[in-house]
Homo-oligomer: A and B are copies of this chain.
Amino acid sequence: MKTLKGFREFYPDPVPSRDAWSFSIRQWLFDTWRNTARQYGFVEYDGAPLEPLELYTQKSGEEIVNQLYNFKDKGDRDVALRPEMTPTLAKLVSQSATQYRKPLKWFSIPQLFRYERNQKGRLREHFQLNADIIGEEDPGADAELISFLIDVLRAVGLRKGDFVIRISSRTAWQDFYQKNGGHPDRSYDFYQAIDKMERVPEEVTSQSLEGTGISIGQVRDFIGRAEPVGDLAAVVDQLTQRGLSDFITVDYRIIRGLAYYTGVVFEAFDCSGKFRAIAGGGRYDNLVNQVSGGKVSMPALGFGMGDVVLTELLKDLGRLPDTAFKPDIYFAIEDESLRPQSLAAIQWFREQGFSVVFPITATKSDRQFKHATELQSTLLVHIDPLNPGQLTFKNLKTREKTTGPREQIHSLS
């Protein structure tokens, strides 16, 4: 009775093993993402997790099929589990753009699927926060998006010195490439070489640059200058005005491998360098046009942030919060003849919004107390056996005890 390799299950707390995933941590992460999105006025959407295969092949070419969970459904349609959200977003936007005020600030938390071969321990699914601003070409949108990224990372518990957003510009690289005589038909290979530069030996990069018309020395000089120009300078200015300059650095080593980026690009990293990128994104001003078959043309930018690297980083830093469920009330039933009245009281407390746990069958007093303590219940409540119209409330932290009508709860919590 196995689970598929590369897929996770999310357990209630306490999770049954050290490397099992906790549902409540996942939910806390999503809630934090959603709460920060709300502060920024991003609104949420979702698409279908299963899409027509061509939605992905028309954007990324046939090679992407090797990495997809794709199949023919019973109606003989070629379909795929979504490997990324951007094509779905571009579809939704091109179908509905006239209905919304621009710019759109949309986000989503999809589960995404990639069939990765021979990658030990690599997951085949993850959840990803996708945030996009659509219909605004001004660099103020780039600053707003990166500011949101910074505040998401701070909201989950990361601080100055824990992470940095490395900001760069595809436009600056394009200018550099043209001015220095890069071959027009080799630009994609050039971006790929720069994107991989940090992860491979210098000889490999030199080799990859051969035939592009650009030398590794020129590349090194350009990266070394690190001058923000054009839109990139405006983005840095606005983030500085927001007081966020501690969280960003201009770094031309970032270029993003994908072909469709067009302007400012960025990646978020942990400062220890232990982990892969936490998030990455940038401008893709031509993609909506491309995906809509030329019907809708809107400048756009966005980022994606997976749940896996972020959770592992927080775990590594000891910053994961205690998200386990703790009831407000453990309602003890010490005398079974009082169960009917106890059930009525439990119902009343729940209707007031309190969470209540109680023993479903006759249980010894000491076991009930032990259970209440293990659950870290705030209060232990039971019907006063001497005066069944009254309840006894015991605060399990302060050990304070009071007796009174059920309404007394409101003065205790």
What is A's interface to B at a CB cutoff of 8 Å?
Answer: 1-5, 7-14, 16, 23-24, 26-27, 38-41, 43-52, 55, 66, 69, 71-75, 77, 79, 81, 91-92, 94-96, 99-101, 103-104, 106, 111, 113, 115, 117, 125, 136, 138, 140-141, 143-144, 147, 151, 238, 241-244, 291-293, 325, 327, 339-341, 343-344, 346-347, 350-351, 353-357, 360-361, 371, 374
A347 to chain B, nearest CB (A): 4
Q: Are B44 and A24 in contact (CB under 8 A)?
A: yes
Given contacts A4-B77, A16-B95, A141-B360, contact A46 B241 (CB under 8 A): no
Q: Are A11 and B74 in contact (CB under 8 A)?
A: no
Q: Are A347 and B243 in contact (CB under 8 A)?
A: yes
Q: Are B103 and A360 in contact (CB under 8 A)?
A: yes
Q: When the two chains form the complex, which single residue of B16, B49, B91, B243 contacts A96, counting CB atoms closer than 8 Å?
A: B16
Q: Are B243 and A344 in contact (CB under 8 A)?
A: yes
Q: Are B140 and A241 in contact (CB under 8 A)?
A: no
Q: Which residues of the partner chain B approach A356 to less than 8 Å between Cβ atoms?
A: 39-41
Q: Are B346 and A13 in contact (CB under 8 A)?
A: no
Q: Which residues of the partner chain B approach A14 to less than 8 Å between Cβ atoms?
A: 99
Q: When the two chains form the complex, which single residue of B50, B52, B71, B143 contacts A2, counting CB atoms closer than 8 Å?
A: B52
A297 to chain B, nearest CB (A): 15
Q: Which residues of the partner chain B approach A147 to less than 8 Å between Cβ atoms?
A: 347
Q: Which residues of the partner chain B approach A47 to less than 8 Å between Cβ atoms?
A: 3, 9-10
Given contacts A39-B354, A371-B101, contact A46 B4 (CB under 8 A): no
Q: When the two chains form the complex, which single residue of B40, B113, B353, B361 contacts A140, counting CB atoms closer than 8 Å?
A: B361
A83 to chain B, nearest CB (A): 13
A326 to chain B, nearest CB (A): 10
Q: Are A353 and B50 in contact (CB under 8 A)?
A: no
Cross-chain pairs A/B with CB under 8 angstroms, 9 sampled? A1-B292, A10-B46, A24-B43, A26-B46, A39-B353, A50-B125, A138-B360, A238-B343, A244-B347
* A9-B55 Cα distance, complex, nearest whole Å: 15
Main secondary structure of the interface of A (DSSP, over half): mixed
A141 to chain B, nearest CB (A): 5
Going nearest first, the 9 A-B pairs with the smallest beta carbon separation are: A71-B71, A7-B48, A12-B43, A16-B96, A16-B99, A241-B340, A41-B357, A140-B360, A242-B347
Q: Are B343 and A111 in contact (CB under 8 A)?
A: no
Given contact pairs A4-B52, A26-B46, A71-B71, enumerate 11 new A-B contacts (beta carbons under 8 Å): A1-B55, A10-B47, A23-B44, A39-B355, A41-B325, A41-B327, A71-B72, A74-B117, A101-B374, A238-B343, A241-B340
For A65, the closest partner residue in chain B by CB is B74
